[in-house]
Amino acid sequence: MDEDPNTDGPGAVAARITGRTVRGERPLSGAVAEVRLDDGRSVMVKRADDPGSARAEAAGLRWLAEAGTVPAPHVHGHETRWLVTDLVAQGRPTAGAARRFGQRLAALHAAGAPAFGAPPPGGPVDAYIGLAPMRNVPGTDWPHWYAEHRVLPYLRAAVDRGTIRPAETAAVERVCERLPELAGPAEPPARLHGDLWSGNVLWGADGEVWLIDPAAHGGHRETDLAMLHLFGCPHLENILDGYRHTAPLADGWADRIGLHQLFPLLVHAVLFGRGYAEQALAAARRALA
């Protein structure tokens, strides 16, 4: 059934996609609602800001769940501007859940991807990270792919918006030139969540960690770990301990955290302004030191 902009709301979307009768709904945030179905289940209905972002998120959740490692909410379906998934009951962060998450995250990364930049099966090339467009264009060499399709597009966008001054771009451009020597040992493409800040790490009432709101693609596994560091995450050391015991990290990985944070910091500079631009420039200078 097609979407009807005159009648669509979370309840109507949930009924259409699940085929169930709706018993009630309540908003969880501006774009997200909980909808109760006649079989006793609750689903999450999310309205997308941009056409195609629901498709990208649905494909990412399915691809992550397919690995059978870190759980992700079941996707009931999506439309142009709507996504319907299971609603995961929230609990509290614990050290044990964090360590298990680290172990499972390592296994998720090891599930792999066809190439750096490869989109999830069924996912669009023109995807999103948060509210920002993100192109999933495959490449075989991580340093060159990261520079061309992750760092430089957002550097140019930040300059166009006046967030970064043209005279300030040299440090970021120099990092891109030196990426082959700065990136550490070559690694195969990992299956990434792609936007793994703490807000997308959901601590479930079942005692496990769930992944939500992915910007999934094939990438470097250190990128997900750098995102966990960017805004802090509960029990981060336990997560890293579980990860390293499952899949040891290459020497010098901690020194490369800023290198991998350069992309999300530039995205935030484009979306949210000068403060993040200054952090991105500082990360570039540290990477060159």
Catalytic positions? 195
C-alpha triplet 265, 132, 253: angle, nearest 5° = 35
Distance CA 194, CA 150 (A): 11
Question: 3-state SS of the chain?
Answer: CCCCCCCCCHHHHHHHHHCCCEEEEEECCCCEEEEEECCCCEEEEEECCCCCHHHHHHHHHHHHHHCCCCCCCCEEEECCCEEEEECCCECCCCHHHHHHHHHHHHHHHHCCCCCECCCCCCCCCEEEECCEEEECCCECCHHHHHHHHHHHHHHHHHHHCCCCCHHHCHHHHHHHHHHHHHCCCCCCCEEECCCCCHHHEEEECCCCEEECCCCCEEECHHHHHHHHHHCCCCCHHHHHHHHHHHCCCCCCHHHHHHHHHHHHHHHHHHHHCHHHHHHHHHHHHHHHC
Distance CA 202, CA 180 (A): 35
- Distance in Å from the first CA to the final CA of the chain: 57
